[in-house]
Structures are given as structure tokens and as C-alpha cells.
Structure 1
Amino acid sequence: MTEEIRQKLTGAVIGLARTCENNEKTENTNRVFLEALTMGGDWSASLFDMSEMLEKVRNEKYTVSPGCVTCAAPCGNTDDYDMENLWKESEETGAFKNAILMAVYQIAAKMYHADQTEESDTMKLLFRALCMISFEGWNIAGLTPVMVELGKAGR
């Protein structure tokens, strides 16, 4: 059950990142984003804490894009990402995306604990990296050396 809520939390954070692609962040968005990623990467986080954080992320997403809550013709751009999709592509692509996610967890935790929540190039990169995870149809041929380096960074 804990892993299931962790997957939902991560999917919601990816949904928040996608929401911010076309909508202006609030003054709380970066903090919520980093806090949620920190908790998502903390394998000792409790089910209760992750459930509360999931609600916080979804509330932030709908604060950033309030029209999405009641939209009569939802486009899906702001939906929570289904983490099962990570493994529906090739094993190599799923592993690559997972390595990116592990690196994002670590960087986000360092930024969160250092209270670096202001907009920066690193913050923009984290948002963009999560958006990229949700894209399908990657062709990662030739990226094996990058995967090896990301795997090392995720340890």
C-alpha cells in the first residue's frame, strides 16, 4: 500500500509539473513540488504523510490551474501521470526514465532541505525533467553511457 501511494504521489507531482508548463506558478508551487519529491524519494515516509502530501500537490495543481477542476472538455495535460506507463515502453526506456526520476528525487531533496525554493535554472530543469518522463515514444538508442552516469548519480 505504501508503494502504491508513493506512485500516486509521484504521478501527481508529474501532473503538477505538466500543469506549470502552460500556467503561472503560485508563490507556493516550488516549495510544494520540492517537498513532495523529497517525500516521494524517502522510502521511510509514512502512508499517512504521503497521503496528506498527495492532497497538497493536487490542491496546488488546481490552484495553479483552477479551470481544470471543472473543465467540461478535459485535455489531459494536467492529469496525474500513471506511473504504470513508465514500464509500458521498452525495458531500456523505463529504466532510463526511472534513473532520471531517482536523480530528480535526490536533487529536489537537497534543494528542499537547503530551502532553495526560488525560481532557478535547476528548478526549471527539475520541472522539465518530470514533464519529459510523461512523454511516450522515446528513442534512447545511443544513450547507454548517459544511462550509466544517471544510474551512478541516483545512488
Structure 2
Amino acid sequence: MRILSVTAQKPDSTGSGVYLTEVVRELGREGYVQAVLAGVYREDEVRLPGGVDFFPVYFRSEELPFAIPGMSDKMPYESTVYSTMDDRMVRVYMEVFRRKIKEAVESFHPDLILCHHLYLVTALVRDCAREIPVYGFCHNTDLRQMKKHD
């Protein structure tokens, strides 16, 4: 079975990121073929288990010139608070993630997608990969972010 894990944040710098990485590690021990799609900075040294394909979405880049939006208002790295994102930032964020999700699905061919945080990117995954089962992990910080928006 081929499993794609998705997070809009760094896959190794927060509780949910460590959780994602450990799930990937354990599923790898069970013989599953895996890939991870995550939001990172170009200078980040992403540490995933060997043999895991990586689909990075680069922030502080030409396409996404702002910091990674975090599920907590205070993250252990430079971040953008979701509630401060303007319409243009949200539009670009959605466009870039939509494109990267489609790329990952078309090239990796997952049988299953695991999304971390029930928020914007999980909704995009469901929209972009309707024929693939999608499971979402709620880490609760996503619920707090939703309460802050109209």
C-alpha cells in the first residue's frame, strides 16, 4: 500500500510534525511505501525516514513570500498567524498547495492519504483526490484556529 502523509507545516518541528514523522517511521517498519507533502523553508533540513519521497511546499519563496502559517499563534519557528492572512495570501496559499497536491497524487499514486490538521490543506486534499480515501488527524490546534475566523 502507498500512503501519502500531508501537513501544511514542518514535518518535524512541532508536536503534530513529530507525530507525523513517527507515524511515517512506524508504517515504514510495516513495509508501507510512503511520501510526505509538507510546508517548509528551502534552508530546512527535513529529516524523514529513509526511502520516503518528499514533496516540499516552500514558504518565504517567490510563490509563497510569507512565513509558514502555524496551527498555534506562537510556533517554534518563524510563522504567519492564519487570522492575519489577507485574501491574496489565502488565494496564493491555496493555489500552490492545490498544485503540489495534484503533483504528489499524479506522481506517487497513493492508495491512502493521511492529513494532519482539519484545516485548509485537508479540504484541498479532499477536493483534489476524491477517488482516494483520506483520513484526517485532528491535533486540536486546528479547531482553535477555526474559532478565530468568520
TM-score normalized by the length of structure 2: 0.29
Instruction: Write 1 or 2 for the structure with the bigger share of helix.
Output: 1
| Pair member with larger Rg | 1
**Which structure is higher in RCO with an 8 Å CA cutoff and minimum separation 6?**
1
Instruction: Write 1 or 2 for the structure with the bigger share of strand.
Output: 2
TM-score normalized by the length of structure 1: 0.28
